[in-house]
Structure 1
Amino acid sequence: MGGKCVSVFKNNEKYTIRTGKVEDAEAVLEIQKSVIAEGDYLISVSEEFIQTLEQQREWIQGLLENRIETLIVAEINGEVVGWIVFLSQYRKRLSHTGSFGMMISKRYRGMGIGKMLIRALLDWAEKNPLIEKVCLGVFSTNHRAISLYKSMGFVEEGRKIKEIKINENEYVDDILMYKFVNKN
């Protein structure tokens, strides 16, 4: 994306998808805390997530300085309401791939923001000559997300059975998905 803004008008509101910046740290952190607190589809639980605002700023700065990682945010009327992050592998033989995570404020879900963020990420990845494969992991119970990923061309490549333990008697599979970009 390279900092370029893409504005779309939907539901009479101005949506902007852009590269994240250090100044977004507080909004990104608040979204992360609220989504983790919901407890539905993330491995982390609230008591484990102890990221400070300064650590969040440092994390974002590190992403911005890395050619094979990125943070993209979605704004509605100037308010950050969601974000997607692409994290790379640091081993040479895995450096062509990475995975993403995405979080959207609860009240803004179902509005197409996730699709816009994924589309922006894939556009960034396709333009990045170092990235060939975009991956993700998703709870097998997160049917809405799985449907979105499939509609965007992601394919299931594996499943970690009972990878996530929700409570003493409840487990969830971790579905691994991918999409190739920059095919040779």
Structure 2
Amino acid sequence: MTRHTDDKVTIRFVRIEDAVAILSMQREVFYEGEFFIAVSEEFNKTMEQQLEWIQSIIDNDRDTMFVAEINGELAGMVVFVSPARKRLSHTGSITMMIQKAHRNKGIGKALLQELLAWAEQHPLIEKVSLGVFSNNLRAIALYKSLGFVEEGRKVKEFKLAENEYADDILMYKFV
């Protein structure tokens, strides 16, 4: 599945050969230190682990990953992972990452639209969930614009600095 959102942006399923570019993007985004649970010094994934992770997503029919490319270069990704437990197999959660240089260009929206279209066509997936930092207002607005609603909140879940916290807002959408 490939979708061209304009002349330059392509949204497509991940391929194993994307591993190097994805790992590089993850390191770059984690280095920023904003809006992710892990901080840069905690992210130490090896290339072998990255290859195994991407292959496991490709091999599992309830998981998926889409990447966004601009002129052939990786700009972002969205990952959907469904739990292995039978009573949770109708659900899954997403994680999204956009390179700083490519934010505010509609890439996140295009990735989420592609993922939601995939989930709507999937015979088992009924609910897409996510968690978002309460201070990530752009992401929250994006999720709401696509029909996600807040279902709960973990208060002061993330400690950003001394006496500075963010809630973990839990959101979902039925597909």
TM over 0.5: yes
CA distance in structure 2 between the aligned counterparts of 1:19 and 1:31, rounded to whole angstroms: 17
Secondary structure at the counterpart of residue 81 of structure 1: strand
CA distance in structure 2 between the aligned counterparts of 1:171 and 1:78, rounded to whole angstroms: 38
1:137 corresponds, among 121, 131, 135, to: 131
Match of 1:173 in 2: 167
Q: 1:2-17, aligned counterparts within 5 Å?
A: 4-9=1-6, 13-17=7-11
CA distance in structure 2 between the aligned counterparts of 1:35 and 1:80, rounded to whole angstroms: 13
**Does 89-98 or 151-160 show the bigger shift?**
89-98
Q: 1:39-58, aligned counterparts within 5 Å?
A: 39-58=33-52
CA distance in structure 1 between the aligned counterparts of 2:69 and 2:126, rounded to whole angstroms: 28
CA distance in structure 1 between the aligned counterparts of 2:162 and 2:98, rounded to whole angstroms: 29
Q: 1:49-88, aligned counterparts within 5 Å?
A: 49-88=43-82
CA distance in structure 2 between the aligned counterparts of 1:139 and 1:166, rounded to whole angstroms: 10
Q: Is the 8 A contact 2:68 2:111 kept in 1?
A: yes
Q: Does 1:115 align with 2:109?
A: yes
CA distance in structure 2 between the aligned counterparts of 1:168 and 1:143, rounded to whole angstroms: 21
How far the C-alpha of 1:8 sits from its partner, in A, is 2.5
Q: Does 1:95 align with 2:92?
A: no
- The C-alpha deviation readout for 1:73-110, integer Å capped at 9, x for no partner, is 00011111100000111111111101000001100000
CA distance in structure 2 between the aligned counterparts of 1:5 and 1:144, rounded to whole angstroms: 26
Q: Does 1:152 align with 2:159?
A: no
Q: TM-score, normalised by structure 1?
A: 0.93
Match of 2:17 in 1: 23
**Unaligned runs of at least 5 residues, structure 2:** none
How far the C-alpha of 1:167 sits from its partner, in A, is 2.2
- The C-alpha deviation readout for 1:105-162, integer Å capped at 9, x for no partner, is 1000000000000000001101101100000000000000000000000000000001
Secondary structure at the counterpart of residue 28 of structure 1: helix
Secondary structure at the counterpart of residue 8 of structure 2: strand
Q: Does 1:162 align with 2:156?
A: yes
**Unaligned runs of at least 5 residues, structure 1:** none
Q: Is the 8 A contact 2:5 2:110 kept in 1?
A: no
Q: TM-score, normalised by structure 2?
A: 0.98
Secondary structure at the counterpart of residue 171 of structure 1: strand
CA distance in structure 2 between the aligned counterparts of 1:37 and 1:108, rounded to whole angstroms: 16
Task: Report the identity percentage.
Answer: 61
Match of 2:26 in 1: 32
CA distance in structure 2 between the aligned counterparts of 1:5 and 1:172, rounded to whole angstroms: 36
Output the amino acid matched with 2:3. Answer: V
The alignment covers a number of residue pairs equal to: 175
CA distance in structure 1 between the aligned counterparts of 2:29 and 2:52, rounded to whole angstroms: 21
